[in-house]
Amino acid sequence: MPEDYEKISPTAVLVAFMRARYTDMPYAREIYSAARQMTKPYFFKKTPLIFPRLARFAPSTMGRLAYLEGRYLSLNEAINTLDDSYTVIEIASGLSARGLERMSKPSVYIETDLPDMLATKQKVIQKILAEKSAAPSPNHYFYALNALDPNAWEQLGHTFFDGNKGNIAVIHEGLAQYLAAEEKVKLRDNIARFFDRYAAKGVWITTDFFPYKKIRKTWILKLIDRRIEKKTGRKYHQFATLEEILKFLEQGGFKASLQDCSFIFDRLTCVGKVPLDKARVQEVLRIYKICTAIYAQNRRDS
């Protein structure tokens, strides 16, 4: 039976709302305001509203904001270390500003998501560019991709790289927690197969893998998570330990390293906007990781 991944898409709107309201992240307000005007009403009906409501009454519990902003910034830092020969493919890009931020870069950037979400994103970006009288970048592409569908990856490869292996980085943030263990395996194997066929060098970079066992959750966060699980029809699944993450990646043919996100603390804008507990934020950033997994060809067969 096909999985209803579209039910996860409204979480992108929730994330955009959080960024616009509680951070000074680039384009956050423009993106959210454009999305509000052009998203089909059902998107907003399905958007879990408990987070914003609770934030009004309990702002100091909003440590997750630091995670939202920190994951965006640290993923940017990681891809900025790649040279311009790398094509960056962002999966599940939602309403993130990364495509807009990278417009002036010479490297190719392909943002992908499920078809409805991607169409919305494309309209949002067009509107923002039109308002700024800015031309779209010839290196910025939009491509509908269900990251769990091997045929969709094959089509993507065929469209952009056929007969021409390139250096490729696949990146994502905020997707893997909605995928069950066996779906994470599918995602991993889709990326590995894609690198096998289309990449001279392939690297998978994500902030979605961290040792979940170490995360302390307040009752409010637990409530929010239950609510999001209900809305998306998905049970959160995370790796419990670092060892589990490394084993999962090794089994897929990847050699991974994980760095904590604390280096990003000084750049978080949410800390100045919401009365967050700074020590707690630093503690949390030490648990969240940026995972860089290099695809080592034929590792699985050796």
Ligand X SMILES: C[S@@+](CC[C@H](N)C(=O)[O-])C[C@H]1O[C@@H](n2cnc3c(N)ncnc32)[C@H](O)[C@@H]1O
By CB under 6 A, the residues from 26 to 65 that bind ligand X are none
The reply on whether position 5 binds ligand X by CB under 6 A is: yes
- Find out whether 285 and 261 touch, Cβ atoms under 8 Å: yes
The reply on whether position 113 binds ligand X by CB under 6 A is: yes
Task: Calculate the CA 203 to chain-centre distance.
Answer: 15
The reply on whether position 114 binds ligand X by CB under 6 A is: yes
The reply on whether position 156 binds ligand X by CB under 6 A is: no
What is the enclosing helix (H) or strand (E) of 291?
Answer: strand 289-295
Q: Minimum distance between the CB of residue 212 and ligand X, rounded to whole angstroms?
A: 16
Please state, in angstroms and as integers, the Cα–Cα distance from residue 51 to each residue in 15, 48, 222, following that order.
10, 7, 11
Q: Minimum distance between the CB of residue 47 and ligand X, rounded to whole angstroms?
A: 11
The reply on whether position 96 binds ligand X by CB under 6 A is: yes
Residue from the set 28, 34, 147, 249 that interacts with ligand X by CB under 6 A: 147
Q: Which residues pair with 166 in a beta bridge?
A: 199
Q: Smallest Cα–Cα separation from 39: which of 64, 10, 78, 15?
A: 10
Q: Which range of residues in 57-65, 131-139, 143-151, 158-166 is near ligand X by CB under 6 A?
A: 143-151
Say how many CA atoms lie within 13 Å of 5 toward its Cβ: 20
Residue from the set 20, 89, 175, 284 that interacts with ligand X by CB under 6 A: 175
Residue 184 or 253 having the CB closest to ligand X: 184
The reply on whether position 173 binds ligand X by CB under 6 A is: yes
The reply on whether position 157 binds ligand X by CB under 6 A is: no
Q: Minimum distance between the CB of residue 179 and ligand X, rounded to whole angstroms?
A: 8
Residue 24 or 250 having the CB closest to ligand X: 24
The reply on whether position 94 binds ligand X by CB under 6 A is: yes
Give the other-Cβ count within 10 Å of 96's Cβ: 26
The reply on whether position 174 binds ligand X by CB under 6 A is: yes
Q: Which range of residues in 2-10, 20-28, 238-246, 272-280 is near ligand X by CB under 6 A?
A: 2-10
Q: Minimum distance between the CB of residue 113 and ligand X, rounded to whole angstroms?
A: 5
Task: Calculate the CA 292 to chain-centre distance.
Answer: 14
Residue 99 or 252 having the CB closest to ligand X: 99
Distance (Å, rounded) from C-alpha 220 to C-alpha 55?
Answer: 10
By CB under 6 A, the residues from 184 to 223 that bind ligand X are none
The reply on whether position 15 binds ligand X by CB under 6 A is: yes
Q: Rounded to 5 degrees, what angle do the CA atoms 117, 109, 12 make?
A: 25
Long-range contacts of 237-241 (CB under 8 A, 24+ apart): 237/177, 237/179, 237/180, 237/181, 237/184, 238/176, 238/177, 238/210, 238/212, 239/209, 239/210, 239/211, 239/212, 240/211, 240/212, 240/213, 241/211, 241/213
By CB under 6 A, the residues from 242 to 301 that bind ligand X are none
Q: Minimum distance between the CB of residue 64 and ligand X, rounded to whole angstroms?
A: 12
Label residue 39 left, alpha or beta by phi (over 0 means left) and psi (-120 to 50 means alpha): beta
Phi, psi of 194, rounded to the nearest 5 degrees? -60, -45
Residue 30 or 173 having the CB closest to ligand X: 173
Is beta strand 86-90 parallel, antiparallel or unpaired with respect to 166-172? Answer: parallel
Give me the residues that bind ligand X (CB under 6 A), please. 5, 8-9, 11-12, 15, 91-96, 113-114, 117, 145-148, 173-175
